[in-house]
């Protein structure tokens, strides 16, 4: 969708923006459970999300990932779609239950699927950023305690060892975990995600074991695929005080401690922030000697996922309550659109962590109520969202933050976890009945933009 001014729809980027140059990585992202379907094909084991989907009342409309976007069957078509967009890279995840048997041995058919997928992406000139864990823990491990069980950290390291040996040379860069905050807090703290537990003490212990698994996996990735950089992906949150009071400013601080410092302090300072336990008293996890050193092992890059800003007020007892402020631009998820918070967070991380590694924005995007009309999908809100967030990244780079790439979430409309198929994040529309793919206007604009970049 070329605009009359030749801007390809991205009007907020300055002409000299580094984002406009081919050296800045531009990609699209997906996750295995959200698109693959084929939930019991070729020896795939059940995951916690298969179980969660079948628990009444947990997923909107009773939706499941059984079919999703049928990517397990349509992968070659989807690779061609990715390549034809002209993106530099594709971020995908490996389904742990698809590639590993209960006894820890390989599942050849599952591994072969990813080998074919990665080989085809390489043939089409697309770099591959592979995440090992995007929330689909094998159910048999959850039956033994899941991430509350320290043993799961070691089983994750075994899984990372197997997959990195099998896929070595096919992967541009590895990420151990996607959004451990979501796995820990939404999965074990408030029950919104699988496995649906509801205890803050569980959340802090699960997060510790997730990060421990991350640290334990790094040596295997280094040994098996030394040419591929290794990192982790963290979702980050921004907060603004609902009122100009010291109490609400402190509430906003606590919100960002819980969403950001909880993970980043552990990774980059080898400790958990004291203010987390001011917010959540008596929830300290069991940390054994040497754990924080393992968690804090050096990484080659940090993935950052950002979507929205929240407004918060004090709850009057060292905590915060999120409040909805009317009159603000919001997405289909009812999330406030606030690009400058991404810039602020990035520059703040650079100041807070002298050892901050290079950053990739590994997810950024928005859900819209998209419909196909006369063969087209008009989604100007999404294009505007991407445009302004890329401009915020550009500003952060100008302020000294080492941001090297940006991935749009998502390539395809897909299974949006507890919201099922009711939310559409893709730049490509999926008709879930026919599985037809239709490039939205945002995808056409991104394709034109990528074709116009300068060396």
| 8 A C-beta contact, residue 91 and residue 129 | yes
Identify the active-site residue in 36, 142, 179, 381.
179
Q: Look at residue 318 in the predicted model and tell me its pLDDT.
A: 87
318 annotated ligand binder: no
Is residue 416 annotated as involved in ligand binding? yes
How many CA within 13 A on the CB side of residue 382?
A: 32
The domain segmentation of the chain, as residue ranges, is 18-449
Q: Is 395 a catalytic residue?
A: no
CA dihedral 428, 431, 437, 439 (to 10 degrees): -40
Res 2: pLDDT: 39
How far, in Å, CA of 443 to CA of 428, rounded? 7
**Paired tokens of 320:** 């915060």
Nearest partner of 180 among 305, 60, 36, judged by Cα: 305
Is 399 one of the annotated active-site residues of the chain? no
Alpha carbons 385 and 26: distance in angstroms, whole number: 16
State the CATH class of domain 18-449.
alpha beta
Distance CA 30, CA 160 (A): 19
- By the 8 A CB rule, do 259 and 309 touch? no
* Spatial contact of 212 and 291, defined as CB atoms under 8 Å apart: yes
Residue 429 annotated as binding site: no
At residue 395, the pLDDT reads: 98
381 is in an annotated binding site: no
Predicted pLDDT at 1: 37
Residues 206, 183 contacting (CB under 8 angstroms)? yes
| Strand spans (E) along 236-295 | 238-241
134 is in an annotated binding site: yes
Active-site hit among 36, 142, 256, 363:
363
| 417 assigned ligand-binding residue | yes
Tokens of 74: 């349509």
Taking the C-alpha atoms of residue 455 and residue 22, their distance in angstroms, rounded to an integer, is 5
Q: CA-CA distances (angstroms) from residue 143 to 207, 321, 447?
A: 18, 33, 45
**Sign of the Cα pseudo-torsion (448, 449, 454, 455, in order):** negative
5: preceding bond cis by omega (within 30 degrees): no
pTM above 0.85, yes or no: yes
Q: What is the DSSP string of 143-206?
A: TTTGGGSTHHHHHHHHHHHHHHHHHTTS-SEEEEEE-HHIIIIIIIIS-SSTT----HHHHHHH
Predicted pLDDT at 8 = 53
Mean pLDDT per segment of 10 residues, for the chain of length 455 residues?
A: 48 93 97 98 98 98 98 98 98 99 98 98 98 98 98 98 98 98 98 98 98 99 98 98 98 98 98 98 98 98 99 95 97 98 98 98 98 97 98 98 98 98 98 98 97 93
- Residue matched to tokens 């698809």: 98
């Amino acid at each position: 969708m070329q605009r009359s001014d030749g801007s390809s729809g991205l009007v907020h980027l300055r002409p000299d923006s580094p984002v406009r140059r081919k050296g800045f990585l531009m990609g699209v992202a997906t996750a295995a459970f959200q698109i693959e379907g084929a939930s019991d094909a070729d020896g795939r084991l059940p995951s916690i999300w298969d179980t969660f989907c079948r628990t009444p009342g947990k997923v909107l409309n009773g939706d499941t990932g059984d079919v999703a976007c049928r990517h397990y069957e349509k992968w070659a078509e989807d690779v061609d779609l990715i390549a034809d967009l002209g993106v530099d890279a594709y971020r995908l995840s490996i389904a742990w239950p698809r590639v590993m048997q209960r006894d820890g041995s390989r599942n050849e058919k599952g591994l072969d699927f990813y080998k074919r997928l990665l080989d085809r992406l390489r043939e089409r000139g697309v770099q591959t950023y592979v995440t090992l864990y995007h929330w689909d823990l094998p159910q048999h491990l959850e039956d033994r305690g899941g991430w509350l069980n320290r043993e799961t950290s070691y089983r994750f390291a075994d899984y990372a060892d197997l997959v990195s040996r099998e896929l070595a040379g096919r992967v541009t860069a590895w990420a151990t975990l996607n959004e451990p905050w979501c796995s820990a807090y939404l999965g074990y703290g408030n029950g919104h995600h699988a496995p649906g537990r509801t205890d803050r003490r569980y959340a802090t212990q699960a997060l510790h074991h997730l990060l421990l698994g991350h640290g334990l996996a790094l040596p295997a990735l280094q040994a098996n695929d030394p040419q591929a950089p290794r990192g982790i992906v963290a979702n980050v949150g921004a907060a603004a005080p609902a009122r100009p009071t010291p109490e609400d400013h402190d509430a906003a601080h606590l919100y960002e401690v819980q969403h950001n410092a909880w993970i980043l302090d552990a990774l980059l300072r080898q400790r958990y922030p004291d203010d987390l336990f001011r917010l959540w008293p008596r929830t300290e996890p069991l940390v054994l000697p040497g754990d924080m050193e393992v968690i804090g092992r050096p990484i080659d890059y940090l993935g950052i996922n950002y979507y929205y800003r929240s407004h918060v007020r004090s709850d009057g007892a060292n905590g915060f309550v999120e409040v909805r402020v009317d009159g603000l631009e919001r997405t289909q998820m009812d999330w406030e659109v606030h690009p400058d918070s991404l810039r602020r967070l990035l520059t703040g991380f650079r100041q807070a962590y002298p050892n901050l590694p290079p950053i990739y924005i590994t997810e950024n995007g928005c859900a819209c109520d998209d419909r196909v009309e006369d063969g087209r999908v008009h989604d100007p809100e999404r294009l505007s969202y991407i445009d302004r967030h890329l401009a915020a990244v550009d500003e952060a780079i100008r302020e000294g933050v080492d941001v090297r790439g940006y991935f749009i979430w998502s390539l395809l409309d897909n299974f949006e976890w507890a919201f099922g198929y009711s939310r559409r994040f893709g730049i490509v529309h999926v008709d879930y009945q026919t599985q037809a793919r239709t490039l939205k206007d945002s995808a056409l604009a991104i394709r034109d933009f990528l074709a116009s970049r300068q060396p």
